[in-house]
Structure 1
Amino acid sequence: MRTALTDLTGVRHPIVQTGMGWVSGPRLVTATARAGALGILASATMSPDQLRSAVREVRSRTDAPFGVNLRADAGDARERVRIIVEEGVRVASFALAPSKELIAELKDAGVVVVPSVGARRHAEKVAAWGADAVIVQGGEGGGHTGNVATTVLLPQVVDAVDIPVIAAGGFHDGRGLVAALAYGAGGVAMGTRFLLTSDSTVPDTVKARYLAATVKDITLTTAVDGLPHRMLRTEMVAELEGAGRLRSLYHALRRASGFRRLSGLSRLGMVRDGRALRHGKELTWSQVLLAANTPMLLKASMVDGRTDLGIMASGQVAALIEDLPSVAELVARVMAEAERTLTVLGAESSRAANSSPSGD
């Protein structure tokens, strides 16, 4: 299936596996690339050296295109951009809008730039700055998300920009892919669906919690870091929502220290990142400190399997997922279902046309 996304990135199928911290590592990205979709390495939870090593690991396993996701506001963003360029990575995606200068630097090196956005005005801004495409995530999506549904946000952005738009938030099958294409998107991006595959390194006990979730078990909370964050409702989420400020800050500082050691960031670097996080947002310094909680709370679940101590970011679509296929099986299934859906729609359109009264 050829679309603006496949033409831009060189992949066979218009499907993107998003960059999820502690989840989108070399194993998952390699499996996605081999399956013909666009795998994205999540670099925010890696040190620069770990990122370079992860890129080389994927490259050693496949010659298919893949990408790297990074935070544009991170203090070492330019160092990570240099790694992307030096290692010949095809796509750079961003959780936050990159600067005009950062976009230009990547494009000059032949890297495809794909920021993620949650509002039309943000898409218009990065498009004007030279972004090659945008991932548009509606409020159904997991992790940090907005409050506008994909079915409203997606057509807004498609109508506002002249670059390929990739739809995210609420997608898990071929029917969703066809719906996104009908809105004018060039493909779909999926996180939770790729997390719930046999190629994902997330512990089986954690995957079981996702598979058992109903729509009512997936919540949107600001208790973790002061920003809207969609995740499974767990004991930890309930504890965070009921915790007082001093208790929350105490635990946040401990986990922030742990993340500093894992990521290789200096204390000064974390302060710079905190300032960048506050920029343009009405966050107190207390909320910034709580934001440092997030990587370690995610690691507790996604790596250590401690669902009692961690959080589990999740799109609402988790309530519709019931199995753990391999990535190759998943991508093949999505594409086959999309083709069947298009065939059925074409047949129904033909029948409707043939049954119209003469002269209509």
Structure 2
Amino acid sequence: MFHTAVCDLLGIRYPILQGAMQGGGGVELVAAVSEAGGLGVLPTFGGTDQKLREDIEAVRTRTGRPFGVNIMPMGRGITERCAATCIELGIPVVTTGRADPGEAVVRRLKDAGIKVVSVIPTVEHARRMAGEGVDAVVASGSEAGGHVGTVSTLPLVPQVVDAVRIPVLAAGGIGDARGFLAAFALGAVGVQMGTRFMATEESDLNEWGRERLLAMRETDTIVTRAMTGATVRCIRTPEIVTYEEAVARGTDAATLKEMAAQVRASRYGEGKRDRRQSAAGQVAGLITGIVPVADLIEGMLAEAARLAQGLPAVAGR
């Protein structure tokens, strides 16, 4: 049960991808997700080529199963460098996010035999990536942590499914068996989860992030441009709330730029616990404990199977 087209496409046992996370998604988590039957994905945001090579080698010492690398477009040079490293080292799957890496990069990856999965926030973006030749897309709703669009998962996924003829996975607000099962009702053939995997024993989420995550309600995230200049859903902090209130008041651009710098600086500093792992999705309100990755995946699948059997039989009624 739950073996879908994406399992065959990516060579994985279960249709579950781990979202690439800069903070919380290190080598141990990536390896654990792949070892448990999903697809672990390494982040590259802000890292060096040497760091990426070291991380790839570290994952390979921990699992012989497929894993992926996420290429975050941050300029042509960085994007092409990451792609070249993935090709050189024989990475089987590359995910892309935040922006289109460009058809030339997609084609280079495809010509090297790499499967390309693009994380997209709109139907238009899904069509564009399908036209460039990617193998699958992840329709990521605004509930997700990290860089987000404006369309939520429930309306986004079925519209993307209708618009493209490649496998579609769902992301955003998925963290338990109910969300996993709902993704299939929307037409998806798998899911991508990020925030839920942060709350696992193998995650490298720091003390501040772990404590905050377990205490969060569904209203404790906020979307802001203060972090990167693009819209990011992250853990609500006083500094970010102050920034967003200034935006709403129509504060001038120069002042907002200074305030954004203060927001980023507030994640560090003497006497403060490290808050770098601040991206989180609305699903955080569902998280009540830290568990091993294997237990999370197996438990979620078992519960989804149980729930599927208990769905109302509406045919003929």
TM value normalised by structure 2: 0.89
Partner of 1:318: 284
Residue 150 in 1 paired to residue 153 in 2? yes
Q: Distance in 2 between matches of 1:146 and 1:32?
A: 26
Partner of 1:41: 42
Q: Distance in 2 between matches of 1:133 and 1:45?
A: 25
Residue 222 in 1 paired to residue 225 in 2? yes
Distance 1:225 1:240, change over 3 A: farther
Distance 1:219 1:329, change over 3 A: same
**Which of the residues 161, 182, 207 maps onto 2:210?**
207
Q: How does 1:57-96 map to 2 (within 5 A)?
A: 57-74=58-75, 75-95=77-97, 96=99
Query: How far 1:73 moved relative to its partner?
Result: 4.0
Query: How far 1:332 moved relative to its partner?
Result: 0.7
1:206–1:305: 8 Å Cα contact kept in structure 2? no
Query: How far 1:215 moved relative to its partner?
Result: 2.0
Aligned residue pairs: how many?
Answer: 307
Q: Secondary structure at the match of 2:40?
A: strand
Q: How does 1:1-360 map to 2 (within 5 A)?
A: 1-74=2-75, 75-95=77-97, 96-241=99-244, 246=254, 249=257, 300=268, 305-307=273-275, 310=276, 312-345=278-311, 348-349=312-313, 356=317
Greater shift after overlay, 230-239 or 161-170? 230-239
Q: Distance in 1 between matches of 2:111 and 2:222?
A: 41
Query: How far 1:250 moved relative to its partner?
Result: 5.2
Query: How far 1:100 moved relative to its partner?
Result: 1.2
Query: How far 1:115 moved relative to its partner?
Result: 1.1
Query: How far 1:108 moved relative to its partner?
Result: 0.8
Query: How far 1:89 moved relative to its partner?
Result: 1.0
Query: How far 1:224 moved relative to its partner?
Result: 3.4
Q: Distance in 2 between matches of 1:98 and 1:196?
A: 30
Q: Secondary structure at the match of 1:215?
A: coil
Partner of 1:273: none
Question: Which structure has more helix as a fraction of its residues?
Answer: 1
Query: How far 1:221 moved relative to its partner?
Result: 2.5
1:22–1:45: 8 Å Cα contact kept in structure 2? no
Please tell me the root mean square deviation across aligned C-alpha atoms, in Å. 2.4
| Letter of the 1:78 counterpart | E
Q: Distance in 2 between matches of 1:231 and 1:55?
A: 27
Q: Deviations over 1:68-124 (max 9, x none)?
A: 001234322112111111111111011122211111110111100011110001100
2:71–2:96: 8 Å Cα contact kept in structure 1? yes
| Letter of the 2:21 counterpart | M
Higher Cα Rg, which structure: 1
Distance 1:311 1:197, change over 3 A: closer
Q: Secondary structure at the match of 2:25?
A: coil
Greater shift after overlay, 154-163 or 313-322? 313-322
| Letter of the 1:25 counterpart | G
Structure 1's unaligned 5+ residue stretches are 256-289
Q: Secondary structure at the match of 2:13?
A: coil
